[in-house]
Structure 1
Amino acid sequence: MPTGAQKTEPLLKVMEGQPVIPVLKIDRAEDAVPLARALAKGGLPAIEITMRTPAALDAIRLAAAEVPEAIVGAGTILDAEHFAQAAEAGSKFIVSPGLTPQLIEAAAASDVPLLPGAITPSEVMAARQAGYSLLKFFPAEQAGGADFLKALSSPLAGIRFCPTGGVSAKNAPDYLALPNVVCVGGSWIAPDALVKAGKWDEIEALAREAAALKR
């Protein structure tokens, strides 16, 4: 087994558990707990809190500690330091837009599974060589969308993806219908305006609709 081999089983359990993983940019740490509760109540317990704001680590820590029904992951992880910080905060899985030797090393030394990103056939092959068979496809729409992923399914059989980036309620079914897509990541379930307004019931309703999408 390659040194950086993916901890596939726990990650696959998360990804197969729901058709959509909410991708969250949280500006206020105090929003993390009610947001995670609303999403879990709507049927989407696995969430990705991106490390794109100063509040991200506190948000991960709070949601992981106070919402036991949630499976809190960290996104936009770019290096080993990010990885360690997110894991220490309580992340159950780590998501990166790409894959580097440093990230492979960090993931190999941790119990927390990594979902790395890859777009081109060469990137996918490099990830496969490092022992990764579950990958993020980002930015999905800008990189060619569902048609591109469909074209990869035969030559790169055995690799499965979670497309993220430009995925919406409208086009998510196109991705979910593909044999090499296990789930999608999307931010439409928790729009900034609803989070800022604390409209948790409306977010729960959007989560419920997303959780009902067919694969």
Structure 2
Amino acid sequence: MSIEQDLEARLASAPVVPLIGASDIGVAVQTANALSTGGLSIIEVVLRTDEAVDCMEAIVKQTSGLIVGAGTVLTVAQAEEVIARGAQFVVCPGLVDGVAEYCLKQNVPLYAGTMTAGEVQRAYALGLRTVKFFPASLAGGVPMLKALSSVFREMRFMPTGGVSASNLDEFLALPSVIACGGSWLTPAAAIDAGDYEVITNLAREAVEIAGAARP
């Protein structure tokens, strides 16, 4: 089974991708394990700290049963580094031809950020069939996704940004949505307090919501 097939199979049963933004390796690993205990096995480590790549690599090496990717990837150089350090998929806030072309050449799944019809069409032309929809709430939310999906019938979307437990079911009700990403599953207050049970419970809640939205 290819990594893309594995991703799709896992997202079919638990279509939620939590974001980890950490600067401490131990905290990152504990957060990933807490999410895994809650039923979420696909983790996106966002490159928003100087130590993010180290944290991502540590999760790859020190956990088992997880698919770990890198998010907030802005350049080809960053894509090269995170893939070399073990990233199994790449997520970008926007669409950059060079990053898309590199990931496609490396056979590494890429979820490039889009929010307009022009960006989705560009992604389609580059060969992408699944894209990130970001920032989901500010870009038009569910109504915008419905409009894009009616035109780009082969495209699937991963809305991120403004997604939470309160609206997760609305996004997942759309057939074109493969999964939702979000940082609500890893609240800073709980992580700072070392209360990883909170994270596990949020992950379980998300799995339950997803199960109800997609029985």
| Structure 2 partner of 1:127 | 123
What amino acid is the match of 1:111? N
Take 1:15 and 1:30, find their aligned partners in 2: how far apart are those partners?
26
Take 2:170 and 2:85, find their aligned partners in 1: how far apart are those partners?
35
| Structure 2 partner of 1:23 | 19
Higher relative contact order (CA 8 A, sep 6+): 1
| CA offsets 1:21-68 (integer angstroms, 9 cap, x no match) | 001211322211111111011000101110011120111011000101
Q: If the length of structure 2 is used for normalisation, what is the TM-score?
A: 0.92
Question: Contact 1:15 / 1:183 at 8 angstroms: preserved in 2?
Answer: yes
Which runs of at least 4 in structure 1 moved beyond 2 Å after TM superposition? 7-17
Matches within 5 A, 1:39-54: 39-54=35-50
Percent identical across equivalent pairs?
Answer: 41
Take 1:47 and 1:123, find their aligned partners in 2: how far apart are those partners?
25
1:35 aligns with 2:23: no
Higher helix share: 2
Q: Give the Å deviation of 1:96.
A: 0.7
RMSD: 1.5
* Residue 106 of structure 1, aligned match among 102, 105, 109: 102
| Structure 1 partner of 2:80 | 84
| Structure 1 partner of 2:200 | 204
| Structure 1 partner of 2:71 | 75
Take 1:143 and 1:151, find their aligned partners in 2: how far apart are those partners?
12
Q: If the length of structure 1 is used for normalisation, what is the TM-score?
A: 0.92
Q: Give the Å deviation of 1:155.
A: 1.2
1:93 aligns with 2:89: yes
Q: Give the Å deviation of 1:8.
A: 5.3
Larger mean CA deviation between 77-86 and 104-113 belongs to 104-113
Q: Give the Å deviation of 1:10.
A: 4.9
| Structure 2 partner of 1:3 | none
Q: For structure 2, which runs of at least 5 residues remain unmatched after alignment?
A: none
Q: For structure 1, which runs of at least 5 residues remain unmatched after alignment?
A: 1-6
Q: Give the Å deviation of 1:105.
A: 2.6
